Amino acid sequence: MAIPGFSFEESYVPCEGDYVLLPYRDGGTPCFRVDALPGALQAVVRAPKEEGGGIAVFLGEAGGVRLSVRCVRLDAKRSSVEAEARKLVVKGLGAAKKQESSRIVVLLDGQDARLTVAVQEGALLGGYAFDRYLEKKAEPLPVLLVVSGGDTASLRKSLEEEAAVCGCVNFARDVLNEPPNVIKPPSLAEAFLLAGKESGLSVSVWDENKLAEERCGGILGVGQGSAAKPRLVIGEYAPEGAQKHLCLVGKGITFDSGGYCLKPTEGQIGMKYDMGGAAMCFAAACAIARLKLPLRVTVLTPLAENAISGEAYMNTSILTTRSGKTIEIHSTDAEGRLLLADALVLASERKPDWIVDAATLTGACVVGLGEDIAGALGTDSDFTQALVKAGVDVGEWFWELPLHLPYLECMKTTVADVKNSAGHRWGGAITAAVFLKEWVPDGQKWIHCDIAGPGCKEEPLGHLGKGAKGFGVKTLVRLARNLAGK
């Protein structure tokens, strides 16, 4: 992982080779204090007039220091100022490298804390690159954020907290970007164990023997075909005095071949991201613990590799889950819901106030919402909308879909309590969620997040470059903040 060095200062002293970014809200409203600029900059600054555009001012050897300055508007018809601020740093890094600049400098007015945090996120998340397996690694440019005025102490605290969240997002990206010959259920469990302990979680790992003892037939059934046996990682954060309890459940298929319902070659590319829900939930729990939010959190991540062998489960197999409910397999490629069935029962047994599960679950959700938007289906509309709003606040998009329980009729079978596939492609994201509801008690506030689009998207998304996005971590942290009254 490569992240540009990031620093925060209250005044700016120009250095040789600086690439200075001066953001404007619109054609004439600067996001920085002009009177706080060095004299050489004040003399040449010109506001950009074209929406979304910018003008470059090259100072040359002004005052004996060679600088490049770019004034950029952050307003755009289809985007927020904060979203454009995140992208500002990424675009600046590209331009600065072409000019062989030594660092990026962004000047801001400290009165706008949201914008300042957005610029920091642009540096910490937009500057991320997974280059572990490259012979030649690019040297990241450092980023300096200079903020004048405002409540500096409060702003520093906000930046420190958001940096902790960004670090957890990048942890999720790291484990997702690792190839499937490196990340398997045991190695991912070990990575979660280490990250959890470093963050302040109490972590336990169930191996295949413990899973059998605990009657987790769904997790065992999916993972039985792989030489790398399944795991369940449980992380717990229980601060003193916490009155409410949030359970997070994340699907962790470290690679999805489709099993005997084998995916085509092109369909298997990107299936290392099928543990996006587990990465999202565990990283969010780590961030919540690092922030010391006054909220009890339990995270459960069932991990398996959906592989083919003489031991693998197959169509018309019947699995018995922890609850005793049985499932007839009608598609070995509808495996994630089998892991979640056991984990949702374990979560429900803890009688939390809220449960949120996340999974890269259905292609149907991608067909309906595209690659940038996740689906959310829940038993309590107010709670579901609270998650949707939390996502909007941090720049991650969820859309509420109906939890239409009559669709369960499509999954009836004569030889088991339920089958794992509706047998048709209509409403696949909804039928999958309705299937999961069978393992959630009536009256429980629960949301199922289908993150198949943004959770598996390979191409850039906003300020996030190619590869894993760590989608949903920020949303869960913001939701936890709101639930904790913070």
Query: Any idea which residues carry the catalytic annotation?
Result: 263, 337
- Give the C-alpha distances (Å, rounded to integers) separating 107 from 114, 117, 160, 180, 347: 14, 13, 18, 42, 46
Q: Which helix (H) or strand (E) holds 308?
A: none
How far is Cα 411 from Cα 434, in angstroms, rounded to an integer?
9
For residues 344 and 354, the answer to whether their CB atoms sit within 8 Å is: no
How far is Cα 350 from Cα 345, in angstroms, rounded to an integer?
9
Q: In what order do the strands lie in the sheet with 418-419?
A: 318-320, 326-328, 418-419
Query: Which token pair is 266?
Result: 């092109």
201 C-beta neighbours (distance < 10 Å), count:
26
How far is Cα 357 from Cα 375, in angstroms, rounded to an integer?
12
**CA end-to-end span of the chain:** 31
Q: Which of 403, 417, 251 is nearest to 327 (CA)?
A: 417
Classify residue 129 by its DSSP letter.
B
DSSP string, 215-272: T-HHHHHHHTTSSS--EEEEEEE--TT---EEEEEE-EEEEE--TTSPPPHHHHTTGG
Ramachandran angles phi, psi of 409, nearest 5°: -55, -30
* Residues facing residue 30 across a β-bridge: 24
* Residues facing residue 20 across a β-bridge: 69, 105
